[in-house]
A and B are shown apart, each in its own frame.
Chain A
Amino acid sequence: MLHSLACVLGFAALSVATLNSEATAQTAPNVDAPGVPLETHSAETGLPYFPPGSGTISHEAITRRVLEVFEGQFGAFRDRSAKLHDVAVAHCAGTADEAALEAAFVDTWMAWAPLDSYQFGPIEQQGAALTVNFWPDKKNFVGRALLDLTKQSPEAQADGAVVATLSAGAQGLPALEMLIYDDAVPACPAVQGVSANLARLADDIYQGWFAENGWADLARAAGPDNPVYLAPSEFTKVVYTALDFGLIRVADVRLGRPLGTFERPFPTRAEAWRSGLTAQIILAQLEGIEEVVMSGFAGDLGDNTRSWMRTVFDQTEDRVAAIDAPINEAVADPMQRIRVEGLQSKVLYLQNQMAQDVGPNLGVETGFSAADGD
């Protein structure tokens, strides 16, 4: 009974944080008084009154909920990549305008942003970190690979299978960005082939996770005979470590690279500077991490921890909004630069708070383990 109630509440908790809307009262069916809704969540904080598993940690429950979050996030990337390809084909046929193409492109990149944190499992197995998002690109590999592509016949350029044979620089989001935003590079017909290949990559990654015998099944089957996860807690640890990595990526790479030094910032080292999406990508990655904490770890974290983490996530996300210029411009503007540095500090603070509160409370600190291997 206790278990099934926890499940009901677990899904309720999932839905509120997944929507990530303003806090509202949530209800669940009331088995003791049918017809009288059971109010499960505080309207003020959005947190459940009776968080499932609060005070105890069920790594099986965490695995189940994290996989639901992942299915949503990986599914969104697959769906938006497929839509981008449809729009690209329509655009090259003259039936969709440039704004529609840009909008579909932005949607796709925002769906990838959370996945950047999960460099294990199918993303690693399929080498997708570089094929989807070849960055940093210090030597203009993207531009050179696109030049190779645009020398081919129009049919070949529009063919995802051809693009799949090219170097990683021609395959992913930075290549699409150059095609769509750089006026010196014509978008059609290559945007069709690159987006077709990206849609295929996105589907492969999704299938790698969620097809039968995929990585999700591997995580669900954690135990002594599992070739990867000897216990369910090991999956929790991998996910927690991935979130920690995601925050370091934001602070050190996404912000650190363009910041450079005060004397010498590097505006064009900002990710996606051509499209001006740098800050939006950072926000989407932070929100992805927050979703895993709130909806995946959910009630297996104590109420105080979740409430505090929500506050710190909100503060961090507010600092993204407080920067009044694209990141690549902001780093070179003394007034705006302070805000970028402030965001970087805040992300590191968030990472620190995760390490102090979330990891220990889940029993999965990132310290030394003889089993880490190398």
Chain B
Amino acid sequence: MQRRQFLAVSLASATAAWASQGWAAAGAPKYLTAAAKPGNSTWLVGLTEDAKIAFEIQIPSRGHAAAAHPERAEAVAFARRPGRFAVVLDCVTGQEIVRLDSPEGRHFYGHGAFTADGKLLLTTENAYDIPDGRLGVWDATDGYKRIGELPSGGIGPHEMIRMDDGGFAVANGGMQTHPDYERAVLNIPTMQPNLTYLDAEGAIIDQVEPPADMRLNSIRHIAADASGRVVIALQWQGNPLQEVPLMASHRRGEALQFFDHPETRALKQYAGSIALSADGSQIAVTGPKGGHVIFFDGTTGAPLNGQALPEASGVARFGERFIVTVKGGVLEGGADGGHVVLVDGDYSWDNHLVAI
């Protein structure tokens, strides 16, 4: 889709917003996460601020991340790659509103974001036979009809987030995959990740790539503060014996900055999720493979400390600190300590916790 059309659709659909209840009616969920229960049933779970279950909705197979509509109490749960479904849920009634199927030759990567006005949903997708990264465009004012797609700016777009200015940041991880090969990475010798910025109309306005020695450090998960600084959780695809930083940050117009941490090693070359605290003083990075979380100074990027946390998966801001999904519950806290709150339901959390 052309940029002009994208904008036009965005305006045209302004009159078509459908009536729906707001988030306050949905048992006040503050966080969304995909999860599984023993026996491998798969769920989308809404958690309240005090880590109670606001709602739990079964989904067809394993989810990954979710996107919350900015106003309506609607959430879109995305299939884990190489899944082809996304489920739009009414978080008040627990009903499925509509199910999205990725078009022929595309599959979802598990993340997406709404435009600031809530009219369009963008989804990161793999055009695997080309191969190329795409952003699917779905009209949230018209039953989430697919209305086009945009280039993501690289191979393997994974997490995308909306920035405070209404634009978007897209983590093009660089990893080429194909459903015929399930989850195997096919292009490690040539992979080239980047961080791509789009304006509110979906046009690419800036890109940054890691230097040659960090080329194999996949840019996969991101968070941003109000000033537009993006922090990045990295996944090292090179020789596993090589020790590399797994956190980076970026501000447009500058080079990527990489930040090491004495406990990086405990993440097993894999940073899962990343979040900034609301006051900007701390950065939290989870390592689900290593069962560990590490904290950085939010301003300088200097390492603070870390903590072994079994199955540390999703992380989101929680007041001035963080909420981290862990085995059996959530951790509320940060570098200066915290406590685990148990959550009922015998859930195993999937990789991400999305703040609403």
- The yes or no verdict on A and B being binding partners is yes
Which residues, 128 to 176 on B, are CB-close (under 8 Å) to A?
129
Cβ-neighbour of A126 out of B189, B268, B270, B291 (below 8 A): B189
Chain A residues near B189 (CB, 8 Å)? 126-127
Given contacts A119-B181, A227-B240, A374-B110, 14 further A-B contacts (CB under 8 A): A119-B184, A125-B238, A126-B189, A227-B268, A227-B269, A228-B269, A368-B36, A368-B42, A370-B351, A371-B291, A371-B311, A373-B288, A374-B64, A374-B81
Q: Is B40 an interface residue (CB 8 A)?
A: yes
Q: Is the CB of A371 within 8 A of B288?
A: yes
Cβ-neighbour of A374 out of B188, B190, B291, B351 (below 8 A): B351
Interface stretch, picked from A81-89, A94-102, A245-253, is: A245-253
Q: Is the CB of B188 within 8 A of A253?
A: no
Q: Is B125 an interface residue (CB 8 A)?
A: no
Cβ-neighbour of A373 out of B188, B240, B289 (below 8 A): B289
Q: Is A143 an interface residue (CB 8 A)?
A: no
Q: Is the CB of B184 within 8 A of A124?
A: yes
Q: Is the CB of A368 within 8 A of B40?
A: yes
> 1/0 per position for B216-250, CB-CB distance to A under 8 A?
00000000000000000001011111000000000
Q: Is the CB of A370 within 8 A of B235?
A: no
Q: Is the CB of A370 within 8 A of B129?
A: no
Q: Is B180 an interface residue (CB 8 A)?
A: yes
Which residue of chain A has its CB nearest to the CB of B111? A374
Tell whether A367 pairs with B240 under 8 Å between CB atoms, given A127-B187, A374-B80, A374-B81: no
Chain A residues near B80 (CB, 8 Å)? 374
Bound: A151/B129 CA distance, A: 27
Q: Is B197 an interface residue (CB 8 A)?
A: no
Chain B residues near A228 (CB, 8 Å)? 240, 268-269
Give me 22 A-to-B residue pairs in the complex whose CB atoms sit less than 8 angstroms apart, sorted by A's number: A119-B181, A120-B184, A124-B185, A125-B238, A127-B187, A136-B180, A227-B269, A228-B268, A249-B180, A253-B180, A367-B40, A368-B40, A369-B348, A370-B311, A370-B351, A371-B288, A371-B291, A371-B311, A373-B235, A373-B270, A373-B351, A374-B110
Q: Is A213 an interface residue (CB 8 A)?
A: yes
Q: Is the CB of B181 within 8 A of A129?
A: yes
* A-B residue pairs, 5 tightest by C-beta: A119-B184, A368-B36, A370-B311, A227-B240, A127-B189
Q: Is A230 an interface residue (CB 8 A)?
A: yes
> Interface residue count for A (Cβ, 8 Å)?
29
Which residues, 47 to 94 on B, are CB-close (under 8 Å) to A?
62, 64, 80-81
Which residue of chain B has its CB nearest to the CB of A228? B240
Interface size class for chain B?
35 or more
Most buried by B among A245, A249, A371, A374: A374
> 1/0 per position for A51-77, CB-CB distance to B under 8 A?
000000000000000000000000000
Q: Is A130 an interface residue (CB 8 A)?
A: yes
Bound: A125/B238 CA distance, A: 7
In the assembled complex, the CB of B236 is this many whole angstroms from the nearest CB of chain A, namely 9
Chain B residues near A248 (CB, 8 Å)? 182
List chain A positions with a Cβ less than 8 A from chain B.
119-120, 123-127, 129-130, 136, 138, 213, 218, 227-228, 230, 245, 248-249, 252-253, 367-374
Q: Is B186 an interface residue (CB 8 A)?
A: yes
Which residues, 166 to 211 on B, are CB-close (under 8 Å) to A?
180-182, 184-190
Bound: A124/B237 CA distance, A: 9
- The majority secondary structure among interface residues of chain B is loop
Chain B residues near A230 (CB, 8 Å)? 268, 290
Bound: A138/B189 CA distance, A: 23
Q: Is B317 an interface residue (CB 8 A)?
A: no
In the assembled complex, the CB of A355 is this many whole angstroms from the nearest CB of chain B, namely 12
Chain B residues near A249 (CB, 8 Å)? 180
Most buried by B among A129, A136, A248, A371: A371
Q: Is B350 an interface residue (CB 8 A)?
A: yes
Bound: A120/B186 CA distance, A: 10
Chain A residues near B187 (CB, 8 Å)? 127, 130
In the assembled complex, the CB of B342 is this many whole angstroms from the nearest CB of chain A, namely 16
Bound: A252/B178 CA distance, A: 13
Q: Is the CB of A213 within 8 A of B241?
A: yes
Q: Is the CB of B241 within 8 A of A227?
A: yes
Bound: A213/B190 CA distance, A: 23
Tell whether A370 pairs with B240 under 8 Å between CB atoms, given A127-B187, A136-B180, A230-B268: no
Bound: A374/B62 CA distance, A: 12
In the assembled complex, the CB of B124 is this many whole angstroms from the nearest CB of chain A, namely 12
Bound: A187/B351 CA distance, A: 51
In the assembled complex, the CB of A374 is this many whole angstroms from the nearest CB of chain B, namely 6
Bound: A374/B40 CA distance, A: 17
Bound: A76/B240 CA distance, A: 26
Cβ-neighbour of A127 out of B36, B186, B288, B289 (below 8 A): B186
Q: Is B6 an interface residue (CB 8 A)?
A: no
Which residues, 258 to 284 on B, are CB-close (under 8 Å) to A?
265, 268-270, 272
Q: Is B30 an interface residue (CB 8 A)?
A: no
Chain A residues near B351 (CB, 8 Å)? 370, 373-374
Q: Is the CB of A370 within 8 A of B184?
A: no
Q: Is B123 an interface residue (CB 8 A)?
A: no
Q: Is the CB of B313 within 8 A of A370?
A: yes
Q: Is the CB of A127 within 8 A of B268?
A: no
Q: Is B215 an interface residue (CB 8 A)?
A: no
Chain B residues near A120 (CB, 8 Å)? 184
Q: Is B106 an interface residue (CB 8 A)?
A: no
In the assembled complex, the CB of B171 is this many whole angstroms from the nearest CB of chain A, namely 12
Which residue of chain A has its CB nearest to the CB of B267? A227
Chain A residues near B186 (CB, 8 Å)? 124, 127, 129-130
Chain B residues near A138 (CB, 8 Å)? 129
Q: Is the CB of A124 within 8 A of B313?
A: no
Q: Is the CB of B188 within 8 A of A370?
A: no
Cβ-neighbour of A371 out of B62, B190, B240, B289 (below 8 A): B289
In the assembled complex, the CB of A200 is this many whole angstroms from the nearest CB of chain B, namely 13
Q: Is B349 an interface residue (CB 8 A)?
A: yes
Which residue of chain A has its CB nearest to the CB of B42? A368
Which residue of chain A has its CB nearest to the CB of B351? A374
Q: Is the CB of B181 within 8 A of A368?
A: no
Q: Is the CB of B182 within 8 A of A370?
A: no
Chain B residues near A227 (CB, 8 Å)? 240-241, 265, 268-269
Chain A residues near B272 (CB, 8 Å)? 373
Chain B residues near A124 (CB, 8 Å)? 184-186, 188
Q: Is B321 an interface residue (CB 8 A)?
A: no
Bound: A39/B269 CA distance, A: 48
Q: Is the CB of B350 within 8 A of A127?
A: no
Q: Is B327 an interface residue (CB 8 A)?
A: yes
Q: Is the CB of A245 within 8 A of B268?
A: no
In the assembled complex, the CB of A199 is this many whole angstroms from the nearest CB of chain B, namely 18
